Structure 1
Amino acid sequence: MSRKEGGSMIKDYSFKCSVATYIVSYIEYKQKSGRHVETIFYTMLTFDRFLQEMQYTKEYVDKDIIDAWLDSMKNLSCATYYRKVLEIRRFLYYMSRLGVDNYIPPKPPSRHKEHPPYIFTHDEMDRIFSSCDSLRLKNFYPRSLMIAVPAYIRLLYSTAIRTSEALSINNGDVDFSRHVILLRQTKNGSQRLVPLNPSMEKVLKEYIAYRDRMPIKGLCDSHSPLFVNLVGKRCDRGSMGHVFRRVLTDAGISLADHGKGPSLHSLRYTACIHSFVKMFRAGKSLYCSLPILSSFMGHRKVFDTEYYLRLTQEMFPELNVMDLNVTNCINEIVKQSLNPCKYNNS
């Protein structure tokens, strides 16, 4: 079955388990909410097949079948397990809102707690950029995406956008006159604007100028992808990840096993942490920086950004002492405002 989007995927496959009606309505609900439902569809597809294999006939989801499903996924990677459980939890909550009494499994431990993300140093980032600029093709490979790698890596670090968000950008989404990029396909399902600094604009303009030399019809169209391979097709995340591992090797940065080492997503973490430190050293309190970083990262809630704050405090403990000097002064002012008589008498 081809990986089609939206309703066509549902028509291509007939869900047959005992809660199939709810699965179809859940996917349609997500699609009408503006979500890209491809990942949701394939998660629900595997859940549907599991229920069929278990010959489950109840029109609600009980604890025994959920426990059996969780046990069947014990060999999956932590990231895949986490993603699937969260999606099924959302589905079960959806059924509950429709009046179905389900068992909802507890939320699994955050992946962040198992493997702390890799944060590149400024020196490592310089080596990564140098390695990107030194990439060369030994043999002609039509689907090579090396032409896009230097600009793509710099965009991830400059804007802290997600890898999939960067690859979804079309030419028409880049507005140099307003110095922004419009992200249409985001993790949260909502569009947002990402600012471009002058140096990043220069990089993108140079990349586009070189890219447009390729004699490919429609390459410059507004609806065509920004980052393409040598045949004008949109770059994919898997191929970008493969090239990035080569970049890291050339830059002398070791690759750990089992997903614990650096990856493309590490650039997003790195951009946030470096921005935190830069703002603090410019005189801003860590906690006062949270709303700014939350908007920068595209988080819906400030609480989602607190993880990065804790990570910054762990990596740069000296900032806690410096921040304490600032917050102590603020606390003293608050105490005086709450107890004016005490301080006036003294």
Structure 2
Amino acid sequence: MFEISASRKVLIQPFRDFRIASDRWNKANDKLMLYFDRHCLENFPKIEGITQDMIDSWCIQRKTEKSISCYCRTYIIAKLVEFLNQRKICSLVVPELIKAECHRTYIPHAFTDEELSSFFAECDNEVSKAPNQLTAARRLTVSVFFRLIFSTGMRTVEARLLATENMDLVNGVIDIKESKGVDQHYVALHESMLEILKSYNSVIEKIFPSRTYFFAYTATVPFYQEWSPLVFRRIWDKVNRDHANPYDLRHNYAIRNINSWTHEGFGFSDKFLYLSKSMGHMQLESTKYYYSLIPALADTIASHSQQGFDDIIPEVTEYEES
């Protein structure tokens, strides 16, 4: 385990083991626990264990810190306190998490069918012009990677770090564990996307047998973080003029789904919940952000039943996790 003070390690270790057993732990949490321990050592050098003052001082929003950053930094500590309290190991007040306010300036690109067709056609064109097998595999990865995001609304980081063992190509289900959020979630694949992934897998397996990552740079290494935006812009700029980035494909997935429900009245509620869960949103408010991008949707739903409308679609104040 990471190097932290012994008096806090005995409290954190059971919590860490519990979260790992339920697939709700990642390397970022290890770092946060280490930083929390350093905070305690610096500010409470003579006090062992975990006290309320330690928790409260850690959870104060810093002057240079955005609300979303504060939320991400303090979330796992709040869960630690809940864990300790439930097992009567400690009796601490669970910190109230700061909700990130939505101050968006970037408007996601609204793709046209023509733009998407030209983009994916160029992706495929690059595969056909590859000079060797490895280059062809890398270019095929680009084509399938962006189709997966377009088809499922997955985050780019989720697709990039998708482990081969978490891709169920028999039942068409993706088990997402590496994400910006803290909660594991599942994505069901459309039959057409499943067939593409099966074909891709058969090709890549010949180059990287038993690879760790589904989209593999090498047998054990994923593509680097900057890879997807760089390759997206390179191909996109060849065939389109307007600005767009790969994350806009995720927004497109949400918006097109919501647009398809405009004539269903309040029958959209179950679909909306499924959309929120499949996109990995921890709170419904995150999914409600898309209402601000589809003003006509609010008018359509209101026309079905004005009563209670404001309770169902309130003012959007929550953030959408990147």
Cα deviation for residue 204 of structure 1 reads: 2.9
Q: How does 1:103-118 map to 2 (within 5 A)?
A: 103-110=93-100, 113-115=102-104, 118=107
- Separation in 2 of the partners of 1:30 and 1:249? 43
Written as runs of structure 1 = structure 2, the 5 A alignment for 1:1-346 is 10=1, 13-16=2-5, 18-56=7-45, 57-63=47-53, 66-67=56-57, 70=60, 74-75=63-64, 79-97=68-86, 98-110=88-100, 113-115=102-104, 118-123=107-112, 125-126=116-117, 128-130=119-121, 132-133=123-124, 145-166=138-159, 167-170=161-164, 173-175=167-169, 178=171, 180-183=172-175, 185=177, 190=184, 192=186, 194-198=188-192, 200-208=193-201, 210-212=203-205, 214=207, 216=208, 218=209, 221=210, 224-229=212-217, 231-236=218-223, 238=225, 239-247=227-235, 250=238, 251-254=240-243, 262=245, 264=247, 266-280=248-262, 283-285=263-265, 287-298=266-277, 304-309=283-288, 311-312=290-291, 314-327=292-305
Q: For residues 301 and 175 of structure 1, do their structure 2 counterparts lie closer, same or farther at Cα, with a shift above 3 Å needed?
A: closer
* TM superposition shift of 1:126: 4.6
Q: Counterpart in 2 of 1:3?
A: none
Distance in 2 (alpha carbons) for counterparts of 1:159 and 1:69: 35
What percent identity do the matched residue pairs reach?
15
* Cα deviation code 1:102-148 (max 9, x no counterpart): 3544312225x1336743312254565356446689999x8994431
Do the aligned partners of residues 127 and 104 (structure 1) sit closer, same or farther apart at CA in structure 2, a change above 3 Å counting? farther
Query: 1:19·1:60 contact (CA, 8 Å) conserved in 2?
Result: yes
TM-score (normalised: structure 1) = 0.68
Return the offset for 1:64.
Answer: 6.8
Question: Which residue is 1:344 aligned to?
Answer: none
CA distance in 2, matches of 1:145, 1:74: 43
Which amino acid letter does the alignment assign opposite residue 96 of structure 2? P
Task: State the 1:210 CA deviation.
Answer: 4.7
Displacement after TM superposition at 1:46 (Å)? 1.1
- Listed one character per residue, the Cα deviations across residues 49-77 of structure 1 (whole Å, up to 9, x for unaligned) are 22122244153333476336646x54456
* Conserved 8 A contact 2:152-2:253: yes
Q: What amino acid does structure 2 have at the position aligned with 1:319?
A: L
2:283 aligned counterpart, secondary structure:
helix
Letter in 2 for 1:181: V
CA contact 2:216–2:222 (8 Å) conserved in 1: yes
Cα RMSD for the two superposed structures: 4.1
Rounded to whole Å, the distance in 1 between the matches of 2:176 and 2:109 is: 28
Distance 2:119 2:276 in 1: 22
Q: Distance in 1 between the 2:49 and 2:232 partners?
A: 47
- Asked if 2 retains the 8 angstrom alpha-carbon contact of 1:273 and 1:308, the reply is no
Task: Using the TM superposition, give the Cα deviation of residue 42 of structure 1 relative to its aligned residue in structure 2, in angstroms.
Answer: 1.4
TM-aligned CA distance change 1:279 to 1:300, over 3 Å: closer
* Bigger relative CO (Cα 8 Å, ≥ 6 apart): 2
- Paired with 1:302 and 1:170, the residues of 2 have a C-alpha distance of 23
Q: Matched residue of 2:108: which SS?
A: coil
Task: Give how far 1:197 is off.
Answer: 3.4
State the number of aligned residues: 298
1:69–1:60 CA distance, 2 compared to 1 (3 A): same
Please give the TM-score of this superposition, normalised by the length of structure 2: 0.72
Q: Distance in 1 between matches of 2:65 and 2:301?
A: 41
Contact 1:170 1:224 in 2 (8 A): yes
Q: Distance in 2 between matches of 1:133 and 1:300?
A: 26
CA distance in 1 between partners of 2:55 and 2:21 (Å): 29
Q: Please list the CA deviations of residues 25-51 of structure 1 after superposition, one character each: whole Å capped at 9, or x if unmatched.
A: 221121122323322211111111221
Unaligned runs of 5+ in 2: 310-322
Inter-partner Cα distance in structure 1 for 2:285 and 2:243:
28
Amino acid at match of 1:107: L
